[in-house]
Chain A
Amino acid sequence: MPNEQLTSRERRRERLDRGIKVRTEGLYALSSWKEMFYLLAPRIVLILGLLVAPFLLDMYWQRVLCAAGIYALLALSFDFLAAYVGLVCLGGSFFIGSGAYISGLLNAKMGWAPFLTIPIATVVGAIVSTLVLLPCLRLRGIYFAITSFMFPLLTVNVIIALNIFGGTEGISALATYPNPWVDQYLILSVVIVSLFTLRRLVNEDMGLILRSIKDNDQAVKASGISILSYKIKAVFIASLIGCFGGAYLSHLYGWVGISQFSLDFSILPIAATVMGGMGTLVGPVIGALILTPLSEALRGFGQLRVVLYCLILIGFIVYKPEGLMNYLQRKYHQFEHWEDV
């Protein structure tokens, strides 16, 4: 109706933005319970949501949740390196592969229990990954991305060619977790702990130095700081997270094989990061928790799933380049209402 259209034109949308102060300074929250709740609510929703999820899912989707947790860890480590250190690392599957093979070998050859093999594989895997990436750390941008992409492919070929570590067959009959609850709560608690630890870290002095290296490494050098040593520390932290995912995975399936070096582990975390919002850390985790079940639901399409990833990526790059989390964060701090003019 023309009349209604006219009235709707005379209204305008008023947007109130809470001050930058609210967003950046936690101190503000102490002024009232309401403010404190306002800041804590999103965090509580995320943590409780993750902890309650296993009760709401059936056996099949519980398994998917575990896989989503692994992808979330990889996305977290990808985002940390890319957005805070400036290293775009496509070697996510190398982290998974090295963590998985080390814990698999320790379990199969030495007979050690998962509660021993997982921590050892996490640390040793991270050391191996860091050493492997060490020569590439001088490279920047796309060059680092390409070389880091090469390592998982290279390792697979070495395993096949030399027929070591079980060759193409892999190593099977590894110890698994006692029950599905351990499966899920182990990975979920690690996701939550690493998420909040990293968020803390990037705002500490070490995080500031890492961000400065990303912003401009020449000035960091001129400040008398060796950027290589800080990059090594950052890669070690990121690969710790990734290698835990691998070690966990080997005992989840009771099997390790060359598919743990597959491209999925390198590509999906990137899609999750783009979708969730680069540099938010929590965004990639949410992205992984959305994308993994989605790709599982589309299993019927087989290899066409990759096409779907690409479409989602393109869709986000075109329509929401800032990513889900940056968008939601902004909206959360804005109040909109219609006002008559």
Chain B
Amino acid sequence: MAVETLLQVKEITKSFGGVQAILRVNLELERGDILGIIGPNGSGKTTMVNLITGFVKPDSGEVLFKGKTITGKPPHKIADLGVTRTFQVMRPYYSLPAFKNLIVPLNSPRIRRTAGGKLGDKDGVAIDILEEIGFERDAYVPYKIASSLPLGYLKRLELARCLALKPEVIICDEIFSGLSMSEISTMIPVIERLQMDGITIIMIEHRLRELFRLVNRIIVLNFGQKLAEGKPEEVMAKPEVKEAYLGTGAGYVGS
């Protein structure tokens, strides 16, 4: 079966002043893949997202989307191609009701193109997307002002904003962080459904147990370099990964 390589990162390198944030990292993603990127704090995970989505320009290396280079393009052009992201520090439009947050992506050139100029009932579309992602319409959650929503909904709103763009790739930057176990357990089926819809997903995560339920391949970053890649169990069994994650000398706490 020929599988299309959707996203490819080649030897990408970025340093901020004297700090080597990312050094010669390679990455390859096929359509429909779900990939996890993990690593200790400061290992360059978020920089990786910023490099792929154009928010940070790489020093060297290349990002290819459907075989064409997207390195150096501005973020909105990359999003326009269908590569979108959530933010680790949530960035909803606080002063607007939740469903009005989606008016922005629904007005984007990408959606305009696919809709052939006619956008129809944008509010209705926005509320449908929110309902799909777990905003209870009966409880009027989509109509609430974003600043009044609890964290779990804001994280979902982040995801909904990406979905409204009808993306091909979604990069989730720590979408589980700060959520309670019950909030995470309602979030997991949402992401599973996205994958079934054929959306390619990269998940950057600290919550490994939850992540491993979703992904079949992970990449471990440490000090900006790729430490390991492969199936979650195999990768986590490697001594160098354990060392990076848990430090030397300490026993494995937990299960």
Contact = CB atoms under 8 A, between A and B. Distances in A.
Interface string B104-137: 1101111000000000001000000000000000
B65 to A, nearest CB: 14
B91 A216 contact: yes
Interface stretch (B1-9, B38-46, B75-83, B212-220): B75-83
A221 B104 contact: no
Contacts of A192: none
Contacts of A212: 93, 96, 101, 104
Contact of A221 (B79, B92, B93): B79
A209 interface: yes
A296 interface: no
Contact of B93 (A205, A215, A227): A215
A222 B53 contact: yes
Interface centre among B76, B84, B104, B110 (most CB of A within 10 A): B104
A225 B76 contact: yes
Nearest to B158: A219
Contacts of A201: none
Q: Give the size range of A's interface with the partner.
A: 10 to 19
B157 to A, nearest CB: 10
B165 A219 contact: no
B107 A225 contact: yes
A235 to B, nearest CB: 18
Q: Give the size range of B's interface with the partner.
A: 20 to 34
Contact of A209 (B84, B92, B103, B161): B103
B107 A221 contact: no
Interface string A118-152: 00000000000000000000000000000000000
B202 to A, nearest CB: 14
Given A211-B95, A212-B93, A215-B95, A220 B55 contact: no
A282 B87 CA distance: 36
Contacts of A211: 93, 95-96
Contact of A205 (B53, B79, B107): B107
B114 to A, nearest CB: 11
A212 B74 CA distance: 18
A208 interface: yes
Contacts of A220: 76, 104
Interface string A212-248: 1001101111111111000000000000000000000
Nearest to A223: B105
B156 interface: no
B79 A218 contact: no
B87 A223 contact: no
B104 A223 contact: yes
Contacts of B93: 211-212, 215-216, 219
A215 B108 CA distance: 17
B84 A219 contact: no
B14 interface: no
Contact of A218 (B84, B87, B101): B87
Contact of B55 (A208, A218, A224): A218
Interface string A187-212: 00000000000000000010011011
- Ranked nearest first, the 10 interchain pairs of A and B with the lowest CB-CB distance are A224-B79, A223-B105, A224-B108, A221-B75, A219-B91, A224-B80, A215-B93, A216-B91, A212-B93, A221-B76
Interface of B: 53, 55, 74-76, 79-80, 84-85, 87, 91-96, 100-101, 103-105, 107-110, 122, 161-162, 164-165
17 contacts: A208-B96, A208-B100, A211-B96, A212-B101, A212-B104, A219-B92, A219-B104, A219-B161, A221-B74, A221-B76, A222-B53, A222-B87, A223-B108, A224-B76, A224-B79, A224-B108, A224-B165
Interface of A: 205, 208-209, 211-212, 215-216, 218-227
